[in-house]
Amino acid sequence: MSLSTTTFQVRYSECDPMGVAHHATYPIWFEIGRTELLRDQGGFYGDIEKSGIFFVVVELQVKYKNSAKYDDALTLTTKIDSCTPARLCHSYELRRKNIIIATANTTLACVNNEGVVQRFPTSLLQ
């Protein structure tokens, strides 16, 4: 399946008063990983949404293994694990050098602009 790697620094605004990345920031980072994975495949969410197709997160599981801190350089690996006609499953591994910070999984559903589940366009499944 498809794989993408993204690197970034933990920003000050993403941290609590102790300089530790807040747990609510991680899903945002995972969204960045999904966006970059799609971009690596020549896609763009804006174009997909203009066609009336939307991807919604219906499940998120995160395992926090170590803390990320302000200004840490992190590497996020995002992978497509499986795909059904209406669902797409991703896995994530977030690292600081060789230390695993977190792992996660998401399931996205494909819906139209009224929120009705539908099949992924065949062009996205290739």
Looking at residues 89-94, what average pLDDT do you find?
98
Looking at residues 77-87, what average pLDDT do you find?
91
Which residue, 37, 30, 29, 35, is CA-closest to 5? 37
pLDDT over 90, % of the chain: 77
Token look-up 């600081």 returns 96
Residues 6+ apart with CB under 8 A from 35: 45
List alpha helices for the chain, DSSP H: 26-40, 45-50
Q: Does the pLDDT of residue 126 top 60, yes or no? A: no
Structure tokens at 114: 């009224």
CATH class of 3-124: alpha beta
Separation CA 6–CA 35 (nearest Å) = 10
State pLDDT tens for residues 3-49.
999 999 999 999 999 999 999 999 999 999 999 999 998 888 888 88
User: 0.95 exceeded by the pTM?
Assistant: no
Separation CA 89–CA 11 (nearest Å) = 28
List alpha helices for 41-123, DSSP H: 45-50
Q: Looking at residue 124, what is its pLDDT?
A: 66
Q: Looking at residue 59, what is its pLDDT?
A: 97
Token look-up 């209406």 returns 86
